[in-house]
Amino acid sequence: RAVLVDPGGDADDILDLVKRMDVYVVRIIVTHAHLDHFLAVDQVRDGIAKINKLRNMEAPSVSLHQADAMMWAMLPLQCRLLGIAEPSKPIANPTAWLTDKQQLSVLDGVVLSTPGHSPGSVCVHFAKAKLLLTGDTLFRGSIGRTDLWGGDPKQILASIRSRLLVLPDDTRVIPGHGAETTI
């Protein structure tokens, strides 16, 4: 069982990896609704659904924090403003909403609400694995931008202080961009 996080592009590469790893993807998590984190979600979900069907398994859910629903719906505007080609058809809405402290069925993962980069930004913590997926909340030596849709500099700092810096120092951090680091 696996979760897949932030399929922003390269759908074919993602699907090849899922096949090579021979995992059952039960959920696709989008850490926030900026286009570079979910632009390929339909292709990836549909591809994984086909893989899962061959194994007599269910299609994965697509999950997002509800506070980012409006930004999800604004995908065409995000594309136009950034000069990126819009999808040929609208991307399907998430099938499930993420909530703070939500338990995941994979590796005892827990969703941590970390607003600031966007209103609905989340991180995913796997305590036993000492692993944290941070989307664009925390990077190696930096934090996420707050000058984009829904960003709030005070809120992101509060999220990092209260939700992330309380984790063990040796927690491995995999950000949405760039090199990994530790807390």
- Give pLDDT tens digits for 87-122: 989 999 999 999 999 999 999 999 999 999 999 999
Q: Which residues of the chain have a pLDDT value below 70?
A: none
Q: What does the pLDDT read at residue 156? A: 98
- Please, how many CA atoms are within 13 Å of residue 44, restricted to the half-sphere of its CB? 29
Q: What does the pLDDT read at residue 149? A: 82
User: Quick one: CA torsion of 88, 39, 54, 129, rounded to 10 degrees?
Assistant: 180
Q: What does the pLDDT read at residue 26? A: 97
Q: What does the pLDDT read at residue 112? A: 98
Q: What does the pLDDT read at residue 64? A: 98
Tokens of 54: 């061959």
What is the reported pTM? 0.96
Q: What sign for the dihedral angle of Cα 44, 45, 49, 50?
A: negative
Q: Helix, strand, or coil here: 9? A: coil
Q: What does the pLDDT read at residue 15? A: 98
User: Which residue type sits at 65?
Assistant: H
In sequence order, what are the residues at sequence separation of 6 or more whose Cβ sits closer than 8 angstroms to the Cβ of residue 22?
A: none
